[in-house]
Chains A and B, each alone.
Chain A
Amino acid sequence: MTLFSVAFYILASVIIISTGIAITRRNLVHAAVYLIISFFGSAMLFYLLGAPLLAALEVIIYAGAIMVLFLFIIMMLDEEKLEEKFFPIHQWTPAAVMSGLFVAVAALIISGDSDSQVQLQAFTAEPASFGRYLFQKHWLAIEIVSLLLLIALIGVLYLGRDVRKNNPK
């Protein structure tokens, strides 16, 4: 057990526990807070695995921006009082199937490499080399994604336009 693996297991358990709490909370704000902790844990995990850039981006984008928007919406909504009852079956059956698949795949991976032969190499991704890799090898994918974002932006502008100006009444 090295220091590295101790840190890994602590982080992993924090992530799993906080995510588990997040999906079982009735109070939406509490759920969001646990999800933030989970994202934060994943960011630490990225850092541990030698990807500080991804760690920073995870915190900025997921924990920082997306969860703030979630929280924003939750705070704006009128908090409705949900009665305590189990989720309906048509909601949790697909979820159970998916998680069953997930567990099966994980079991396959672990059993295929039972002796942990493949060791994770200590590797640090520099931001510059990461950027070069992304924009030189995968420039097409980046461009397509940015186009998608542009379309989304234009869509938002279209939806949010001032209707009164177009048809004065």
Chain B
Amino acid sequence: MLTWIAGFILLIVKLGIVLGCMLFLAAYLVWAERKLLARLQVRYGPNRAGKFGLLQPIADSIKMITKEDIVPEAADRIIFLVAPAVVATTALLMFAVVPFGSSLKIWGREIPLVISDLNVGLLYVFALSSLGVYGVALGGWASNSKFALLGGIRGAAQMISYELSLGLSLIPIVMLAQSFSLVDIVQAQANYPFIFVQPISFAIFFISAVAESKRIPFDLPEAENELGAGFHMEYSGMRFGLFFIGEYVHIQVLGALAAVFFLGGWRGPWLPPPVWLLLKIILVALVMIWIRGTLPRLRYDQLMELGWKVLVPAALINIVITGAFILI
């Protein structure tokens, strides 16, 4: 019983730390994105709230929380209210299987530095990311606005298309690591990160990940200049904030997954493992911001063509080639 209680407290503490770090990082990713995007476009970005605008996330969150939470009269009330939570929750829950270190020894107890080492960790991530679609689709539908509905439909179509290539791009990794567990996948990269053996896989994964997080050049569900703001058009206040947090947490999670599957996870010299994972997440996020600052939005047919006619076949061929190499 005592060990059970200790384990429970440990779990709560770990959850608290990870959740706190993720939300903090999400807030400052917004800041980094605005700042870096501004510099990529030869602007300054936020520089009023605090030095270098460092207090901007706090100002933003105060604004979000104190704003009126408007529910359109014709909206489907309950679904409208719940949809943003689905987006944020699924994004946050995905981090549960990401390992951020091997293990720690405190008071003679072995503490694994992962919230939950599921033996189907990778599938768990996909299950949650496929549930995340509902937040977008139902949020768009429940708003009872044509633009939001169009955004929701686009979001659903885009996310299920790219989930396919995302999943297929990771099968070679599973074949190499011989496990679905993210901990084992990091263990398998003890000698070299998988990006060196699976560069094509990494490219497919990264493109699909950007599409999955609905960012430029794949931000068709939002598409400011044709749909207003797409699926979250009718949202205001903290419910919009939840969509926003969901997006940035999603970026972090995808960064963490890219790190775990291809960049060696928490492995790295000199620095402690969680710092390495954090650095890799930030690196991936910065590249995503760079992409946002450079590329224009794709057309819808181009998006579908890229997903189904380029990425999926490439991923399938990659699986076959990897299988052949493993057999030989």
Within the complex, are A and B direct neighbours (CB within 8 Å)? yes
A residues at B contact (CB < 8 Å): 29-30, 33, 36, 40, 43, 52-53, 55-57, 59-60, 63-65, 68-69, 71-72, 75-76, 126-128
Evaluate contact between A71 and B119: CB separation under 8 angstroms.
no
B13 within 8 A of A: no
B149 touches A68 (CB 8 A): no
A118 to B76, CA, bound (A): 47
Q: Which of A30, A52, A59 meets B131, CB within 8 Å? A: A59
Shortest CB-to-CB span from A3 to chain B, Å, is 11
Tell whether, in the assembled complex, residue B180 and residue A64 are in contact, meaning their CB atoms are under 8 Å apart.
no
Q: Would you call B133 an interface residue if the criterion is a C-beta within 8 Å of the partner chain's C-beta atoms?
A: yes
Question: Counting CB contacts under 8 A, is B130 at the interface?
Answer: yes
Contacts of A55 in B (CB 8 A): 120
- Complex Cα distance, B278 from A12, in Å, reads 40
Could you pull out 17 A-B pairs where Cβ atoms are within 8 angstroms?
A30-B76, A33-B134, A36-B134, A53-B123, A56-B123, A60-B127, A63-B130, A63-B131, A64-B163, A65-B160, A68-B160, A71-B134, A71-B137, A72-B156, A75-B141, A75-B153, A128-B178
| With A52-B118, A53-B123, A60-B123 as contacts: A75 and B130 at CB distance below 8 Å | no
Partner of B127, one of A29, A64, A72, A75: A64
Asked if residues B127 and A69 are in contact (CB atoms below 8 Å), the reply is no
Size category of the B interface is 20 to 34
* Choice from B130, B138, B153, B178 contacting A29 with Cβ under 8 Å: B138
Within 8 A of A (CB), among B120-135: 120, 123-124, 126-128, 130-131, 133-134
A29-B131 in contact given A56-B123, A57-B123 (Cβ < 8 Å): no
Sample of 7 more A-B contacts, CB < 8 Å, known A59-B131, A68-B130, A127-B119: A33-B138, A52-B120, A53-B180, A65-B160, A68-B133, A71-B137, A127-B179
Contacting residue for A59 out of B130, B137, B160, CB 8 A = B130
Which residues 140-160 in B have Cβ within 8 Å of A in the complex? 140-141, 149, 152-153, 156-157, 159-160
Does B79 have its Cβ within 8 Å of any Cβ on chain A?
Answer: yes
With A36-B134, A68-B134, A75-B149 known as contacts, the answer to whether A29 contacts B120 (CB < 8 A) is no
Bound form: Cα–Cα A75–B118 in Å: 35
Is the CB–CB distance between B120 and A64 below 8 Å? no
- The answer to whether B180 touches A127, judged by C-beta atoms less than 8 angstroms apart, is yes
Closest Cβ–Cβ distance, residue B182 to chain A (whole Å)? 13
Residues of A near B123 (CB, < 8 A) are: 53, 56-57, 60, 127
Q: Is the CB of B153 within 8 A of A59?
A: no
Q: Is the CB of A65 within 8 A of B130?
A: yes
Q: Most chain-B CB neighbours within 10 Å: which of A30, A36, A71?
A: A71
- Residue contact B130 to A60, C-beta cutoff 8 Å: yes
Which of B137, B179, B180 is close to A75, meaning CB atoms less than 8 Å apart? B137
B120 and A72 contact, CB distance less than 8 A = no
CB within 8 A of A72: which of B76, B130, B137? B137
Which residues of chain A are within 8 angstroms of B120 by Cβ–Cβ distance?
52-53, 55-56, 127
Give the complex CA separation of A29 and B79 in angstroms. Answer: 10
Contact of B153 among A65, A72, A126, A128 (CB under 8 A): A72
Q: Which 3 A-B pairs have the closest CB atoms?
A: A64-B130, A56-B123, A59-B127
Report B-chain residues with C-beta under 8 Å of the C-beta of A128: 178-179
Closest residue of chain B to A79, judged by CB? B141
Q: State the Cβ distance, B76 to closest chain A Cβ, in Å.
A: 7
